[in-house]
Structure 1
Amino acid sequence: MASIELKGAEKWYGQVQVIKGVDLEIEEGEFIIFVGPSGCGKSTLLRMIAGLEETSRGQIMIGGVDATSKPPAERGLAMVFQSYALYPHMSVRDNMGFSLKAAGADKAVIKEKVDEAARVLKLEALLERRPKDLSGGQRQRVAIGRSIVRDPTAFLFDEPLSNLDASLRVEMRYEIAKLHQTLGSTMIYVTHDQVEAMTLADRIVVLEGGHISQVGTPRELYENPGNLFVAQFIGSPKMNVFSAAAQGLRIAETLPAQAQHVGIRPEHISFVAEGEGAFDGAVDVVEYLGADCFVIVDAGDIGQINVRVEGETTLQPGQRLGLSFGPEYTHTFDAQGQALKS
Structure 2
Amino acid sequence: MGAITLKAVEKWYGNVQVIKGVDLQINDGEFVVFVGPSGCGKSTLLRMIGGLEDISRGSLDIDGRDVTAEPPSKRGLAMVFQSYALYPHMTVRENVGFSLKTSGAPKDEIARKVDHAAEVLKLGPYLDRRPKDLSGGQRQRVAIGRCIVRDPTAFLFDEPLSNLDAALRVEMRYEIAKLHQSLKSTMIYVTHDQVEAMTLADRIVVLEFGKIAQVGTPRELYERPANLFVAQFIGSPKMNILPCETGQGSYALQGGRGGAFAGDRAAQHIGIRPEHIEVVAQGQGQCDGVIDVIEYLGADSFLVIDCGPLGKITQRSFGDVTHREGDTVGLKFDPDRLSFFDGDGLRV
**Aligned partners of 2:260 and 2:173: how far apart in 1?**
45
Deviation of 1:326 after TM superposition, in Å, equals 2.2
Q: Is it true that 1:320 corresponds to 2:325 in the alignment? A: no
Kindly state the Cα deviation for residue 248 of structure 1 after the two structures are TM-superposed: 1.6
Residue number in structure 2 paired with 1:105? 105
Runs of 4 or more consecutive aligned structure 1 residues displaced over 3 Å after TM superposition: 252-257
Q: Does 1:303 align with 2:311?
A: yes
Query: What is the alpha-carbon distance in structure 2 between the residues aligned to residue 337 and residue 24 of structure 1?
Result: 23
Partners in 2 of 1:315 and 1:92 — Cα distance? 55
Counterpart for residue 344 of structure 2: 336
> Which TM-score applies when normalising by structure 2?
0.96
Deviation track 1:146-199 (CA, whole Å, cap 9, x = no partner) reads 000001000000000000011100000000000000000000000000000000
RMSD: 1.1
How many angstroms apart in 1 are the aligned matches of 2:285 and 2:259?
12
For structure 2, the 5+ residue unaligned runs are 246-252
Q: Distance in 2 between matches of 1:163 and 1:226?
A: 32
Q: Which residue number corresponds to residue 161 of structure 1? A: 161
The alpha-carbon deviation at position 292 of structure 1 amounts to 0.5
Match of 2:201 in 1: 201
Q: Distance in 2 between matches of 1:186 and 1:321?
A: 49
Residue 247 (structure 1) shift: 3.2
Task: Report the Cα distance in structure 2 between the residues aligned to 1:271 and 1:133, rounded to whole angstroms.
Answer: 52
Contact 1:262 1:332 in 2 (8 A): yes
**3-state DSSP of counterpart to 2:219:** helix
Are the equivalent residues in 2 in contact too, given 1:248–1:280 (CA < 8 A)?
Answer: no
**CA contact 1:89–1:130 (8 Å) conserved in 2:** yes
Alignment of 1:205-220 (within 5 A): 205-220=205-220
- Separation in 2, partners of 1:49, 1:300: 48
Partners of 2:140 and 2:334 lie apart in 1 by 45
Q: Please state whether the residue corresponding to 1:90 is helix, strand or coil.
A: coil
1:285 to 274, 279, 293: 293
Query: Which whole-Å CA distance do the structure 1 matches of 2:320 and 2:118 have between them?
Result: 44
Alignment of 1:62-211 (within 5 A): 62-211=62-211
CA distance in 2, matches of 1:264, 1:21: 32
What's 1:260 paired with?
A: 268
Question: Counterpart of 2:41 in structure 1: which amino acid?
Answer: G
Aligned residue identity for 2:214: Q
Q: Which amino acid aligns with 2:316?
A: R
Q: Is the 8 A contact 1:244 1:252 kept in 2?
A: no
For 2:287, the aligned partner's letter is F
Structure-1-length-normalised TM-score: 0.98
Give 1:294 shift: 0.6
Is the CA contact 1:288–1:312 (under 8 Å) kept in the aligned structure 2?
no
Equivalent of residue 247 in structure 1, options 250, 254, 277: 254
Aligned to 1:51: 51
Q: Measure how far apart 1:144 and its partner are.
A: 0.2
Q: Percent identity?
A: 69
